[in-house]
Each structure stands twice: as C-alpha cells, then as structure tokens.
Amino acid sequence: MNRQNIAIWNPSQLDGFSHSVMNSLRSSNSLSVYDSDRYVVFPGFCDVHVHFREPGFSYKETIHTGSLAAAHGGYTAVCPMPNLNPVPDSVEHLEEELSIIRKDAVINVLPYASITVGQKGKEIADLEGMAEQCIAFSDDGHGVQDDGIMKEAMIRAKKLDKMIVAHCEVNDLLHGGYIHDGQYAKAHGHDGICSASEWKQVERDILLSKETGCAYHVCHISTKESVELVRQAKKDGIDVTCETGPHYLIFDDSDLKEDGWWKMNPPLRDRSDREALLAGVLDGTIDCLATDHAPHSLEEKSRGLKGSAMGIVGLETAFAAVYTKLVRPGIVPLDTILNMLVVNPRKRFRIPLDNDFSIWDLNAVNKVNPDSFLSKGRATPFAGMELYGECIATVYGGRIVWQKEQTSRKY
C-alpha cells in the first residue's frame, strides 16, 4: 500500500497532526484499502452544538446512535445540549448523562450543564458543582430572560473559568411565530418570528460579557444584526465567539416548503441575512460551524410547518453540504470551512485533538437518503439532494469507530 498518496490537511494550528495520522495509518491494517490519491484525510471534526436526547427522550436519539451518526459525518468530538430529562442542573443529574456517555459513546462526547435549574430561567443551577464535568454552561432551547440571572451566571462562570453558551431568544417578541417573519410567512399565512427576538438578546449578553469579563459564545446566529453585533464586539476586545449552521449558509426563507423538515429554531431567515452570515464566515466574525443536530420522531416532524417540532438533523450531511454548496462553487475556501469545523471550536472550547481523523472521497457524489442515516432522526432539508464528499472512515483515539462497507469497487 502507498499511503503517501493520501493527502493530509495540516494547518499550522495543528502541528503534529500529519505525523500522528501517518503513524496511525501505518499501524492499522484495517485501513489498508485506502491506497489512492483520490482520498484526503481531515482532522476529526468538532461540533459544539448537538442534541442527543438521552436521558429522557431516547425515542428521538441516544448517545450511541448520535455518536455513531457523528462518526459517520467525520466528527470525533461533539457537545450535547442539556435539554434532557432530567436536565443536567446538578451533579446527580449530570452524572446520569455522563454514565451513559461512558458506556455508549463511540467518540468524545462532552456535555453541557444547564445555566438555570430545569432550564426554567428562575434560579441558577449548581455551576460550581458541575464545572469540572461539563464543557460549558447553556440553557439552549431557551433564552435566559432575566438580565440579573444572566449577569449572575456570567459572574459565577467567570470565577470557574467556564464559558456561557447562549441560545438567544426574547420570549416577549415571539408572538407565537414558528418561521421567519418574512415574505414566505406573509404569502402563506404563517405566524412569523422577528429577527429582533434573536439579536436583542445577543446585544444584551454582549454587554453583560463586557461588564463581567465572562467568555461568551452565541449559538446558531441567523440574522444580519447578530453578525454585526458580534463583529463589533470582537473589535471592542470583548471575549465573544459565535457559531452558525450549514443550513443558514445555504438556504433562506425563499426555499421553504410546506413541510416540517424545513422547520428549525432559529428559522431560515431572509436572503440578506444569509448573505450577511456568509460575509461573517469570510471575515472571521463567525468562528464555528455547528449543526444543531436536533432529531425528532417522524410523527413529530410530519405536522407541517405550523405543527411540527422544531429541529433538523445535520451531522451526517454537514461537510458534504457545505463542500458542495459553498466550497466547490468558490464561495468559501475549504480552509475556512475546516477551521470552523476543527481548529476554532477545539481552541475555543479547549477540546484536544490527538490521532483523530476521517478519510474522505471528495469526488464521490451521493443523493441524500435519510433512511440510510445512523441517527434516529430523518428530518433534513437536504433530502434528495446530490452532494459531493463521502466519509469513508473515521478514527478516534487510534481506533476505527466508523468505516464504509467495502465492495468490489476498485479505487
């Protein structure tokens, strides 16, 4: 086998990566099929915003199925959010999740703990007790409405050297909306969610981060106003980072269909918002690409735009989607995408990379078939689309955690 034919992406931020990967390739007979220059090796992707639904909602997803889906997508580290039952708001409740992770996860799964008790926004959770066992604190799925509660949480997180990671949403501005308050909503009689419901809370939290000195990360930004707020905060030297999802960079509300598979929170926004997000990716305002992988049952996603649960799956399509729709057309450089998938999230969240990598065939074209997903979730707006880029194998901790079944195909 001529393993030298495998190209290895090795940015300067990941010194030693090529060396560790080559050692792993040499020592693994199981990877001996990859002897063509058509393959590329990437460092293990890192998603700091997923939902694995366990404990409490295992009919939607489990730690095992979620981590397998992540491995299928080239991820070797993920951070699941705390909207679980029980909510990880105490050492005891967090341990329930950690015990499942230790038993069932096939990659590095680093859970969040909640900011408030029960994610209800009324009382701050046991941040001190949970700090050593969680990646950061978040009430994702709920914006913390009370300014005083958020400020106190930031003060305490700062003392613990932990980050506050926020889903930004002002409840008083939602007015029962469930898609973006734009032309599609007006034309089809839907209740809309205004952009201010997001950016107003981003604005508040940035000011609190400046006041407290707490490291702050904004979840899944979707509006042009949020992009500009983060851009200015960085110029002002505030310790702020943010993420967006592949779907917000590729679709806008003009692409919507009367189908719950197009419903997520925040919603797909206006074309001008998508263009602002792309500009934020290109100038470094947006640090991370996160899927917000949010599986639901087929029944929960079959009630149309109005009645379906919010959330789509994304771990198994993320790289192929952005590679096809953004990189190949020359909209975003490949290095920028890989920095958002590998370097930036690992640096910001202090998640190490050892000999964790995935092998890709970037010339392979596949039609997205949700029935082939390893996730229990099926709802994706990419269903039926032909995408370039296929993950052939993923290695975590020197061990193959996912590998495509080999056929008689000659490489």
Q: What is the pLDDT of residue 17?
A: 73
**DSSP assigned state of 195:** T
Q: Residue 3 above 60 pLDDT? A: no
Contacts of 62 (CB under 8 A, 6+ apart): 52, 53, 54, 100, 104, 376
- Confidence band for 126, pLDDT divided at 50, 70 and 90: very high
Q: What is the pLDDT of residue 31?
A: 58
Q: Residue 2 above 50 pLDDT? A: no
Q: Residue 42 above 50 pLDDT? A: yes
Q: What is the pLDDT of residue 21?
A: 72
Q: Residue 347 above 80 pLDDT? A: yes
Q: What is the pLDDT of residue 407?
A: 38
Q: What is the pLDDT of residue 395?
A: 96
Catalytic residue among 139, 287, 292, 361: 292
Question: Mean per-residue pLDDT for 332-339?
Answer: 97
Between residues 63 and 21, the one the model is more confident about: 63
Q: What is the pLDDT of residue 290?
A: 98
Q: What is the pLDDT of residue 1?
A: 35
Share of the chain above pLDDT 70, in %: 91
Between residues 33 and 118, the one the model is more confident about: 118
E strand or H helix at 144: none
- Confidence band for 186, pLDDT divided at 50, 70 and 90: very high
Q: Residue 408 above 60 pLDDT? A: no
Q: What is the pLDDT of residue 113?
A: 98
What 3-state class would DSSP assign to 401?
strand
Question: Mean per-residue pLDDT for 271-288?
Answer: 98
Note the pTM of the prediction, 2 decimals: 0.95
Question: Mean per-residue pLDDT for 49-66?
Answer: 98
Question: Mean per-residue pLDDT for 290-310?
Answer: 98
Q: Residue 301 above 50 pLDDT? A: yes
Residues 180, 340, 209, 110: is their CA dihedral positive or negative?
Answer: positive
Q: What is the pLDDT of residue 11?
A: 67
Report the alpha-carbon distance of residue 359 to residue 31 in Å, rounded: 10
80 closest CA partner among 293, 306, 318: 293
- Confidence band for 7, pLDDT divided at 50, 70 and 90: confident
Question: Mean per-residue pLDDT for 156-185?
Answer: 98
Q: Residue 405 above 90 pLDDT? A: no
Q: Which amino acid is at 202?
A: V
Active site residue 292: yes
pLDDT tens profile 205-239: 999 999 999 999 999 999 999 999 999 999 999 99
Report the alpha-carbon distance of residue 132 to residue 162 in Å, rounded: 9
Q: What is the pLDDT of residue 354?
A: 85
**Average pLDDT, whole number, for the chain?**
93
- By CB atoms closer than 10 A (0-12, 13-18, 19+), residue 170 is middle
E strand or H helix at 91: helix 91-104
Q: Residue 320 above 50 pLDDT? A: yes
Q: Which range, of 27-41, 95-109, 239-253, 342-356, averages the lowest pLDDT?
A: 27-41
Query: Using only C-alpha atoms, what is the Rg of the chain?
Result: 20
